[in-house]
Chains A and B, each alone.
Chain A
């Protein structure tokens, strides 16, 4: 079964950091682009970042550039999102997702909640 499981979320103060992880199983992780997508409470979906199979190309939404870093470890079948200088508006469920068929996302993990609050 193709599966993605996120971890690492939690409550953090503004300006703080968290490292989110996504464990992949059931497919050849190293063959796919991977993405992070977030959803603020009660709001819609926002693509955050993606990373190429070999990790050498990375792209970010403007609102997180310079603060978030996407990375991967193909030997560990894992995707990461280092989030620094967190802001209240970064509060969201963060999903990892596999890029398929020219850029759609399937599957999505169950998400990990990041809450930025003092």
Chain B
């Protein structure tokens, strides 16, 4: 199975400041079709996860442009340019290239 490792596991950020979360996979997520199957989700307290980013860097419908994804191969990053109070929650990366699909451990974002 592909192991997804996120760092840090927790993050405390002042509103308006940037935040960055790293996700590393144990194998390359680049498919022979040229796409890289790396996703980011946010799970707010008491809610189901919601899709933020697909295929490394594409924002899903309705996701604010302060969220951006980058990376390639095995190293990926989610960045929030200016954190807002509504961004609080746990962020998960997930690989979709091989079954079983696997998630990172999660990164808890709190507001200072």
Contact = CB atoms under 8 A, between A and B. Distances in A.
B89 interface: no
* Most B-side CB within 10 Å, residue of A44, A50, A110, A111: A44
B54 A104 contact: yes
Chain B interface size, as a band, is 20 to 34
Interface in B30-46: 35, 37, 39, 41, 43
Contact of B54 (A35, A60, A102): A102
Interface of A: 35, 44-47, 50, 59-62, 95, 100-111
Interface of A is mostly: strand
Interface of B is mostly: loop
Contacts, number: 64
Interface of B: 35, 37, 39, 41, 43, 48-51, 54-55, 58, 60, 92, 94, 96-97, 99-106
Contacts of B97: 103
Contacts of A104: 39, 51, 54, 60, 94, 96
Given A101-B55, A103-B37, A111-B48, A44 B100 contact: no
Given A95-B48, A102-B35, 9 more contacts: A45-B92, A60-B100, A103-B96, A103-B97, A103-B101, A104-B60, A105-B39, A106-B60, A107-B48
Contacts of B104: 44
